[in-house]
Each structure stands twice: as structure tokens, then as C-alpha cells.
Amino acid sequence: MPLRFPDRRVEDVTELLSRLKEDELRLSAQPGVGKIVWYRGLSSATYKLVPTFHVQRRKVTDEIYMMNLFRQNAHEFLEGSLPSSEWEWMLLMRHHRLPSRLLDWSENPLVGLYFATEPGGNRDGALWCLLPARLNRWSLGWPDNNFALPMFTEQEAEFTLGENEGLLNYLPSRIRRPRSPAGPLLPAAGISIRTSRRIQAQLGVFTIHHADRTPLEDAGDQSHVWRLTIPAGKKAAIQAQLSQIGITRLTLFPELDNVAKEAASAVGGA
């Protein structure tokens, strides 16, 4: 089935803003859809919206074991309080590039555009656009006209009409149960406490896959997602435009290594 909107090209930042305005007007004319849109940039338009964990065809038992090994050795390197829940450990592991069922998205389209224009050989990039509440219709049984987004939390005091509770079925400990009542579910969208500078800088939000490897763009009737394509030959120019308006490696990854790299680059370093 077709995506919500057909593919369209974006050749500079101005054209992106024009495309986003087109989408806003279209969504406004479609009752029950909502206006909350998330963005994910991929350096190749051929890549599917599948998390690393499933790309590597790992098993849930692998996930539990990786989590245990990470927890065993991470304490020495963690400053301040330790993660207090399974979700917080999953988000921390994702932050440090451990294979995960989580996919990163942003509330800022320019952040997505940055990642879509990263070097990827001679390949067009893609800026994926997602209606998270629409996605949750297929995975969490979200009713029409409910545009609230659940949170990745295990605190019962934060459950509101079960909105956050539905995501618990995606926890490794729940999936691993022999008789999990949920069974394989389609991907779901949720927000989390932004516990790192990187997530805050990128206005990060997340989708999560269950045990099923179905690409996110193939869930339901595909009315929750569409994409804008970035010609390979325009990537460098768009990155330069983004740098001019403050979207750089340093602003998106505010870490000391990138402070050093930016300082070197400013005086002609690599």
C-alpha cells in the first residue's frame, strides 16, 4: 500500500520548509490525523525503518544477556544515580550504541535533515516523517482523535487510563515470558525523560519494535509515515546550510570530543 504522501525531493533547507508547509496544510484538512510529526534522517533512501537489533537478526535472549553484561560493567563509568528501571537501562544502552529495538526520532525536522545528509557514498538520503499517534493505532489500539503520546515509564503513578502501561509489553522481560499475552506487536511510539544532553539537544523521541521484524513503514495501512528524498549531490550543500543556522555535529552531540573537532576544523584541521 502507498505511504501517506508520495516521495518528494528536497534540495535545500528552504525547499524542506516548503515541503513541511505542504504537509501541514494536508494534515489540517484530514480530520482525526493530528499535527504531531516526528522526523528520522537516513543517509540512504534504501534503508528500512528497522532497528539495529532486528537488522542483526538477534533474539530476545540475546537482548537480556547484553543488558546483563552492560549492567555488570557499567557502574564504574556512571556518574550520579544509576538507571532505576528497565526502560532507563534500555535507553542508556541505546545511547552507547548497543544493538537495540529502539529507533531514534526527533521533533525537529532540521535534526532529521542533518542525518539524512550525512555522507553515504553516492546514495540519496531520506527524511522520514512519522505520525506517532497514528502508528499507535496499529500497535497500542489508540483510538481516533487521541493524539496523546505514552511515556516509557514503569511508575504506576504515571499511568493514565493505561496510556503508558501498553508500552510495558515491549520490555525485554515481558517479551521473554513463555506465555506473553501480547504476542508479536507492531512498532509503537513513545516519549521518555531526556536523561542526556544528546537526547535533549536532538529533541529525541523513540519508536520501539516488538519481537516482530516488520519495518515500521510497513505497519498497518502505512498512513502513519511518508518520506522526503535528498539527492546525493545536494548533501554537502545542505550540510553547509545547516551549519550556518547552528545545526552541527557539536550542537547535536554536545560532547568534548566534538568541541575539539570543531576547534580543529575552524582553523583548517581535519
- The pLDDT of residue 238: 97
- The pLDDT of residue 45: 95
- The pLDDT of residue 146: 78
- The pLDDT of residue 1: 54
Question: What span, in angstroms and rounded, lies between the C-alpha atoms of 238 and 109?
Answer: 13
Given strand 225-230, what is the order of strands in its sheet?
8-9, 225-230, 125-130, 38-42, 102-106, 204-208, 188-190
* Mean pLDDT per 10-residue interval, the chain, length 270 residues: 87 97 92 87 96 91 88 83 86 89 97 94 94 92 83 71 79 76 81 88 95 91 94 96 94 88 74
Question: What span, in angstroms and rounded, lies between the C-alpha atoms of 129 and 39?
Answer: 5
Q: Which residues contact 216 (CB under 8 A, 6 or more apart)?
A: 49, 50, 103, 130, 135, 187, 207, 209, 225
Crossing angle of helices 235-244 and 109-116, rounded to 10°: 140
- The pLDDT of residue 178: 59
- The pLDDT of residue 61: 79
Domains in the chain: boundaries: 8-244
